[in-house]
Structure 1
Amino acid sequence: MTWRFRGKTLVAVLALTGSFAIWSAAPGRAQETGAKLGFVTELSGPASLFGEAALQAAELAVDEVNASGGVLGGDLTLAVADDATDPNIARQVWEKLVNDGVDAFVFRETSAARVAVLPVAEAANVPAIYANDYEGGDCRRILYTAGEIEPQKIAPYLEFLKQNGGTKFFVLATDYNWARITAGMVREAAPGLEIEIVGEEYTPFNTTDYGPIITKIRNSGAEVLFSGLVGGPDNVAFFKQARSAGLTQSLKVIGNIALDDSTLAAVGDAAAGTYMAASYFMTDTSEANTAFLAALESKYGGNMKAQGYLSEPAYDAVHLYALAVNKAGTTETSAVLKALSEVEFTKSPKGSIRMTPDRHAAMPIFIAEAKADGTYEVKESLGVQEAPKQCDPQPPFEKG
C-alpha cells in the first residue's frame, strides 16, 4: 500500500486480488459548506507522465481556491484515484468514489476510460468535468469538457499550414480511434480549404521502422505532412529517421497535432522547425503562464512535473468547478451543471477559458514552432476558438 500526503489530500491505493480502494481526508457527506471533488487520472501505466503533471496542476488549483475563500464557505477537498491507464480499473475507482460521496469528478483519462466511467457518473447523477484533449462529440448530460477538442482547431490550423507550406497534404497517424477520427476531420475540411490529400498512412503503436512510409511520403509529392503520431517512441523513431533520410528538409512544412511539450523534449532537434497547434504550451511567456509555473515550482520544487496541453486543463477544471458551485450556491447537480455554462476562468495560464451551453470550452488556440533544444516557441495565436456544435445547446440539466 502506498500513501501520499499532499496538502489537504490523502490518497491510498490498495491493490489486492484485483480490488482497489480510495480514501480521502474528508468523508463523503451531503454538502452544506465546502465540496468534495473526485480527481481520477493515470498515476501509473503508460499515461502516468500526463497524469502526474495533471495532479500537480489540480492540487495547485485547490490551494488557490481555498486561499481565496473556498466554496460555499468551506474548503474544496480532493479525493484522488489512480486508474492505472486501464478502463476497467477506472470504472472500479469511480464506483468507489461515488460511494464515498464525492460531489463531482474532474478527470484526465484516456478516451477509452472516459467511455467506461461516465455511465457510473450518469447513474449516480454526479457532474463530471473532462480535463483532457479529445476528439469531441460526447454529449452526456452530466459531462463538461475543459480540454480542447480537435474540431475547434483543425480548420484554422490547416489554413495556417497551407499558407506556410502548400496545398498538397500527406496524413500520417497512429492507428487508433482518436487519430483516425482526427484524420477524418482533416479529409472533411480539406476540399473547402482547397487542400488536396495526396496520401494517408496509419501505423500501430511502437512502430520502429518508418522507412517505407518515408519513401511513400516523398514519392507522393506532398508539400505538407500532417502528423497525428502519438507517444514518445513513435515520434522519436519517425522524426529521427525522417531527418536522416532528408524528408524533413524536403517538405515545406510539418504540422503536428499530438506532439506535446514532453514528447517534443524526447524527440529533440530531429523535430526542429515543425509546428504544433494547442491551447497551452509550457514555454508561453505570458504573465498568466509565468505566474502558474512559478506557483507550481514554489509548491513542488525539484519534483515539479512539466506541463502541457494534456495536463494543464486539470488546473482550469478545478477552478471552473469552484466558480460554478459558488455561483450556484449549492453542490446540487442540476444547479452546478447550469452554472458551469455561465462561468469563465479569466486567470487561466492560457489566458481565459469559459464553458458554453454546448458543454465544451471556448479557449485560445496557439501555434508554436519546435526549436532545436526540444522546446516550443509560440509563434501565433488563432484567437479564442469555440467548438463547432457538438451537443444540444439547451442541455437537460435535470436528471431524466
Structure 2
Amino acid sequence: MQLFAVREYAFSLALLAASAIGVCAWNTQAQSKEKGATVGFVAEFSGNISLIGEAGMQSAQLAVDEVNAAGGVLGGKLELKVGDDASDPGTALQVWEKLAAEKVDAFIFRETSAARVAVLPVAEKANIPAIYANAYEGGDCRPVLYTAGEIEPQKVAPYLKFLKSKGASKIFIVGSDINWGRIVADMVKKAAPELGFTILGEEFTPYNTTDYSPVITKIRNSGADVLISALGGTPDNVAFFKQARSSGLMQSLKVVGNLALDDTTLQAVGSAAKGSYMVASYFTSDSSQANQKYLSALKAKFGNDMKVPGIYSEPAYDSVHLYALAVNKAGTTETSAVLKALSEVVFEGSPKGAIRLTPDRHAAMPIYIAQATQEGTYKVVESLGVQQPPKQCDPQPSFGMPKK
C-alpha cells in the first residue's frame, strides 16, 4: 500500500494542464493483467473531512484483507495504492492523474461532490473503472462510473414525511456551501410543499466556519420549528451543534433533521446533537449478524485506532468486494468486461444486506431513520424499507468509453 498527496499547484492550473496535455492514453486499460489487480483508493486523510476519510480507508483495508484471504483476484493479490486528496478538488485531480499514470486497474474513491466532478474526467480519459464509495446527491452518469452508496433522491421525500409526523411544519435549512449542500437543499424545497411544509429560510456556510451565532440568530428569528441540517465535515458539525445546544436553539425547535451527520461525525459531536434525527442506509447500531461481523472484524484489525464507520465510509468496504467479484466474474481486469460484470454481481456480505449494482449505475438500499442519543450514538426508530433510487441515467451509460 502506498500513500501520497500532491499539493504543489492550484486547482485552476491543474485543470488547465489536464485539458492541455491529457492525463493518459485511452488504451491504458487495453492490456489485462493475468494475475491480481491494483486499485487506486482516494479519500480525505487531511483537511476538514479527514475523520470520514480515515474510516473509509479502514473499511477498504479490511475488505482487501478478506478478498486476499479468500483467494484474491485472478489468482493473485488485490492491492491498494492510496492517495490523500486533502479534502480539496485540486489536490484530488493531481492524485488521480498520478494514479492513472501508474496504470491502476480501477479507482475506488470517497470524496466530495466537487472533487468527484473534478477527477472523473481523468478516469474517462484513461478509460479506468471508477466506483464512488460514498453517499451523494445523485445524477452523475458516466460510462466508467458506478456508485455504491445511497443517493438523496432515495430518501428525502420519505424522510420529510417522517419529520412532518412530529408536528412541525416550518423549515429552516442550514448547509455547507458546496455542490452537495445546495443540491440537497433544492430537493428539500421541492418536496416540502406537497407535504405541508413551508420553507422560512436557508443559509449556506463555507467549510471550517467556527462562529455559527449569526446563523443561529437567523434560525431563531425566522420562526421555524424544523431545522434541516446539511452541514458537511466534522469541524463544522461540532461547532454548529455545540453552539446551537448552548444557545438553547436545539431545545426550542420541535424537530431537528440531519442529512449528513453520519455515525463517524456524530461521535465527535457527542451529546450536543441529542434528539436530532438522521436518515441513512447504514447505522453502526444495526444488530444484524452481518453488521456485527463487520464491526468485530474492524475492531480486531485496528483495535483502539478503529474509526466508527458510517454511511460515508462503509461503502468503501462494499466497493472493494464488488470490484473483486466483478474482476473474478469477468476473468480479466479489462475495463469494459469489469464494468459489465459490476452490474451482474451481488455482494452478499455487506453490513447493509445484499448489495447489487445495476446498469443504471446505482443500487437499491434499505433506508432507516435514527435518533441521536446522549452518548453520541444513534438509535434506529423507523425503517423505510428498501428504497429504489429513481432512474438516474437515461440512456444507460455504455460499459467503458467509446473507442477513438
TM-score normalised by length of structure 2: 0.88
**Deviation readout 1:308-344 (Å, 9 max, x if unpaired):** 1111110000011111122222222111111212222
Q: Per the alignment, in what secondary structure is the counterpart of residue 165 of structure 2?
A: helix
Unaligned runs of 5+ in 2: 10-28
Q: Which amino acid aligns with 2:203?
A: E
Aligned partner of 1:90 in structure 2 is 92
Q: How far 1:393 sits from its partner (Å)?
A: 5.0
Distance 1:361 1:285, change over 3 A: same
- Residue 305, structure 1, aligned to residue 307, structure 2: yes
Would the alpha carbon gap of residues 240 and 141 (structure 1) be closer, same or farther in structure 2, given more than 3 Å must change? same
2:183 is the counterpart of 1:181:
yes
- Inter-partner Cα distance in structure 2 for 1:169 and 1:39: 38
* SS at 1:367 equivalent: strand
> In the alignment, does 2:145 pair up with 1:157?
no
Q: Report the CA distance between 1:140 and its aligned residue.
A: 1.2
Number of the residue aligned with 1:13? 4
RMSD over aligned Cα atoms: 2.2
Contact 2:44/2:86 (<8 A) preserved: yes
Alignment size in residue pairs = 383
Per-residue deviation, residues 178-210 of structure 1 (Å, max 9, x unmatched): 111100000111122232222222233344443
Per-residue Cα deviation, 1:208-229 (whole angstroms, up to 9, x for no partner): 4434433433343323211112
Name the residue aligned to 2:385: 383
Counterpart position of 1:75: 77
- Superposed CA deviations along residues 15-74 of structure 1, whole A, max 9, x for unmatched, are 6977xxxxxxxxx97312222211112222332212221111111111111222222232
The structure-2 alpha-carbon separation of the partners of 1:371 and 1:328, relative to structure 1 and needing over 3 Å to count, comes to: same
- Give the conservation status (yes or no) of the 8 Å contact 1:362–1:385: yes
Aligned amino acid, residue 320 of structure 2:
V
AA at the equivalent of 2:272: A
Which deviates further from its counterpart, 274-283 or 213-222? 213-222
1:1-400 superposed matches below 5 A: 10-13=1-4, 30-392=32-394, 394-400=396-402
* Paired letter, 2:327: V
Describe the superposition over 1:266-287 as per-residue Cα deviations: whole angstroms up to 9, x where unpaired: 2222211100111222232221
1:302: how far off?
2.1
Question: What is the Cα deviation at residue 259 of structure 1?
Answer: 1.2
CA contact (8 A) 1:165 1:224 kept: no
Q: Contact 1:108–1:314 at 8 Å: present in 2 too?
A: yes
8 Å CA contact retained: 2:7, 2:91: no
Please give the alpha-carbon distance, in whole angstroms, between the structure 2 residues aligned to 1:271 and 1:282: 17
CA distance in 2, matches of 1:14, 1:258: 26
The 1:124–1:205 alpha-carbon spacing in structure 2 relative to 1, beyond 3 Å, is: closer
Identity %: 68
Matched AA of 2:389: A
Rounded Cα–Cα distance in structure 1 between residues aligned with 2:43 and 2:66: 20
- In terms of mean alpha carbon deviation, does 83-92 or 124-133 score higher? 83-92
Moved more, 274-283 or 161-170: 161-170
Cα pair distance change 1:84/1:16, threshold 3 Å: closer
Q: Distance in 1 between matches of 2:360 and 2:390?
A: 9
1:164 counterpart SS class: coil
The residue identity in structure 2 corresponding to 1:55 is M
Q: Give yes or no for contact 2:3–2:81 (8 Å, CA) kept in 1.
A: no
Residue 256 of structure 1 deviates from its aligned partner by: 0.6
Matched with 2:14 is none
Q: Residue 165 of structure 1 contacts residue 223 of structure 1 at CA under 8 Å; is this kept in 2?
A: no
Q: CA deviation at 1:12?
A: 4.7
Write the letter of the residue equivalent to 1:240. K
**Structure 1 counterpart of 2:283, which letter?**
F
Give the aligned partner of residue 16 of structure 2: none
Gaps of 5+ in 1: 1-9, 19-27
C-alpha change, 1:313 and 1:153, in structure 2 (3 Å) is same
